[in-house]
Amino acid sequence: MTPGAVRRVVHCTLPPELVHKPILHDLIRATNAVVNVRRANVDVESGVAWFLLELSGPADQVTHAEAWLAQQGVTVEPIDA
């Protein structure tokens, strides 16, 4: 990682109304954070989705990525990794 870069792992839970939306695509376009999907479960029929994401890059962009997800209605919980 470059100097000044950070790495955070977050658990994201999507509400049913967001399951059909391209949240990860939009996140990548909205920020300069590197988004790595570590694990995910999406059940479109039941409207349940969660992601375990590793966000990395400049600290302000990682923070912006977390805030952007929350603004979309995603529950974002930090994971100690």
pLDDT, tens digit, for every residue of 10-37?
999 999 999 999 999 999 999 999 999 9
What is the SS3 assignment for 25?
Answer: helix
pLDDT at position 80 is 81
User: Does this model's pTM top 0.85?
Assistant: yes
Could you tell me if 59 and 6 are in contact, meaning their C-beta atoms sit under 8 angstroms apart? yes
| H/E run at residue 77 | strand 75-79
C-alpha 56/C-alpha 36 separation (Å) is 8
pLDDT at 81 over 70: no
List beta partners, residue 13: 50, 75
Q: Where are the domains of the chain?
A: 5-79
Domain 5-79, second-level architecture: 2-Layer Sandwich (3.30)
Closest CA to 14 of 40, 36, 37: 40
